[in-house]
Structure 1
Amino acid sequence: MPDTLEIDGLGAAYGGKPVIDGLSLAPFVPGSVTSLIGPNAAGKTTLLRALAGLHPAKGAVRLGGRDLLALPLADHARYVTYMPQSLPQRVALSVLEGVAGALRASPVEGPALSDAALMGRALEVIELVGIGHKALEGLDHLSGGQRQLASLAQALARSPRVLLLDEPISALDLYYQLRVMKLVQRLARERGMMVIMVLHDLAIAARWSDRVVVLAEGRVMADGPPAEAISAEVLAQVYKVRGRVEQDGADLRIAIDDILP
């Protein structure tokens, strides 16, 4: 059986104040895409950073038989890759150099790639996300959306077991939003990755996810297939809005009517 990702009793805090406390979730399975949704300050980004080993946490995060929280960060990063909401500012690298650097830092099975082969593979990933024409452009010269795509290329180049994406489409137009979601879903299936991403667009989360986890105040409010996790009751309880959720074939239609008093 392929390794699953298990989260049991996870806790994390900022400034001594708990953000996530005792959070447990059913195992994540290889080849799946899970969306984390919920209002601001729900704990979504904190959860991703804790899973990535970038934020102190207690509890257990297990990948197969490995306790990821007990691993040194360098070993943790062999299995888990985290894409933040934006790249650091003023990075003096081209898109190609940034992706090639991510490849160099990735665990290698078999003989190491030559420089030419490494650059060729980096360019393939850049083409996949749709910014091949920007490969030689400096990262600090890109638009916000292009920087987001460059960051995604760096994350995908590492081919992790677990890929964590924090609002990966927030700066993209509709075409690139759909392109990215299709690509992430396809690569999750092909590579057997477990993708966990933070999204704010409920319709996109419902359309492209196998599973949706709804968080509010660090607690799990709903968890399951999109049609089960996103409901009128969840919209009212979590988002404080009145809405309708209807199944239309394979799609979920979400209509928001008004805010609640």
Structure 2
Amino acid sequence: MALHDEKLVISDISTGYSGRKIIENLSLPAILPGQVVSLIGPNAAGKTTLLRSLAGLQQAHGSVQLGHRELLSLPLADHARHVTYMPQSLPQRVALSVLEAVIGAVRASPVSDSLESDQAVLERAMDVIERVGIGHLAMSGLDSLSGGQRQLASLAQALVRSPQVLLLDEPISALDLHYQLRVMKLVRDLAREMGMIILMVLHDLTIAARWSDRIVVLSGGKVAADGPPAEAVTDRVLADVYRVSGRVSPQNAGLHIDIDDILPL
């Protein structure tokens, strides 16, 4: 797998639906290779819309530069050579086994090596399946899996493509605590190993703080805070963005958040 070394710069992004602006003039400082960035914020803050724009699935104005490339001007097929998107909603009825689906993701990848042997592809697919923790499900049909198991299979399909930028929309929403932590550790490890840039939407603030290099807080389609977890998630952010009163204190492995009460909207 290639080691990636290009930074991602998002400048003045504006987008929306049916004439209604969801995100307007949103910019972020450069995201560096190997960084894990979590997008947090209340419902309808623009988190998924931003990911879809970065994936080339949602028309947007502005600039998204990966190294010297302007991603927004690339055809979707070329865009997909560099960026992989895992949506929150996954297909329900797919007549493939987990292993077949992950092998298919290798073969369909725009950067796939057509000379790679079938055995090499199989080993690559199984390595990712094992690392995600679903080796025992490799021969199971996708349509027989639970929602959480399908989420893990979809993550394996995304990871095996080895993208420069990986966009994950709530990748742990259907998982139990063990697999939530397993996935977060795997995502961070792969980012470090490959120089991959990972942006993910999360709702659990403590998990985001523990496993992210940066947290971007979105509210009303704008950046309310951005920085290391201890700087981005504060008492004021809880009050202003989430409308709850509470206290945020540092811990060895992230942040501890005590919620006192809800505030009027």
Superposition TM-score, scaled by structure 1 size: 0.97
In structure 2, the residue matched to 1:222 is: 225
Which of 64, 67, 88 does residue 91 from structure 2 map onto?
88
Which of 127, 133, 137 does residue 136 from structure 2 map onto?
133
In structure 2, the residue matched to 1:102 is: 105
The CA distance in 1 between the partners of 2:208 and 2:96, in whole Å, is 32
Q: Deviations over 1:168-211 (max 9, x none)?
A: 00000000000000000000000000000000000000000000
Tell me, what secondary structure is at the counterpart of 1:233? Answer: helix
In structure 2, the residue matched to 1:235 is: 238
* Aligned counterparts, 1:109-148, within 5 A: 112-148=115-151
- The amino acid across from 1:125 in the alignment is V
Structure 1 contact 86–147 (Cα < 8 Å) conserved = no
The CA distance in 2 between the partners of 1:49 and 1:73, in whole Å, is 12
The CA distance in 1 between the partners of 2:244 and 2:159, in whole Å, is 36
- 2:202 is aligned with 1:163: no
Aligned length: 261
CA displacement at 1:115 relative to structure 2: 1.7
The CA distance in 2 between the partners of 1:8 and 1:183, in whole Å, is 29
Q: Deviations over 1:5-27 (max 9, x none)?
A: 01111011111100011101101
Q: Are the structure 2 counterparts of residues 109 and 49 from structure 1 closer, same or farther at C-alpha, using a change threshold of 3 Å?
A: closer
Superposition TM-score, scaled by structure 2 size: 0.96
The CA distance in 1 between the partners of 2:102 and 2:138, in whole Å, is 9
Q: Are the structure 2 counterparts of residues 109 and 82 from structure 1 closer, same or farther at C-alpha, using a change threshold of 3 Å?
A: closer
The CA distance in 2 between the partners of 1:108 and 1:202, in whole Å, is 34
CA displacement at 1:250 relative to structure 2: 4.9
Long gaps (5+) in structure 1: none
Which of 248, 253, 256 does residue 256 from structure 2 map onto?
253
CA displacement at 1:256 relative to structure 2: 1.1
CA displacement at 1:121 relative to structure 2: 1.2
Structure 2 contact 229–254 (Cα < 8 Å) conserved = no
- 2:34 is aligned with 1:34: no
CA displacement at 1:108 relative to structure 2: 4.3
The CA distance in 2 between the partners of 1:119 and 1:109, in whole Å, is 13
Structure 2 contact 71–79 (Cα < 8 Å) conserved = yes
Q: Are the structure 2 counterparts of residues 93 and 15 from structure 1 closer, same or farther at C-alpha, using a change threshold of 3 Å?
A: same
Superposed CA RMSD: 1.3
Tell me, what secondary structure is at the counterpart of 1:239? Answer: coil
- The amino acid across from 1:120 in the alignment is E
Tell me, what secondary structure is at the counterpart of 1:2? Answer: coil
Which of 159, 174, 182 does residue 179 from structure 1 map onto?
182
In structure 2, the residue matched to 1:11 is: 14
User: Which deviates more, 242-251 or 45-54?
Assistant: 242-251
Structure 1 contact 42–216 (Cα < 8 Å) conserved = yes
Long gaps (5+) in structure 2: none
In structure 2, the residue matched to 1:76 is: 79
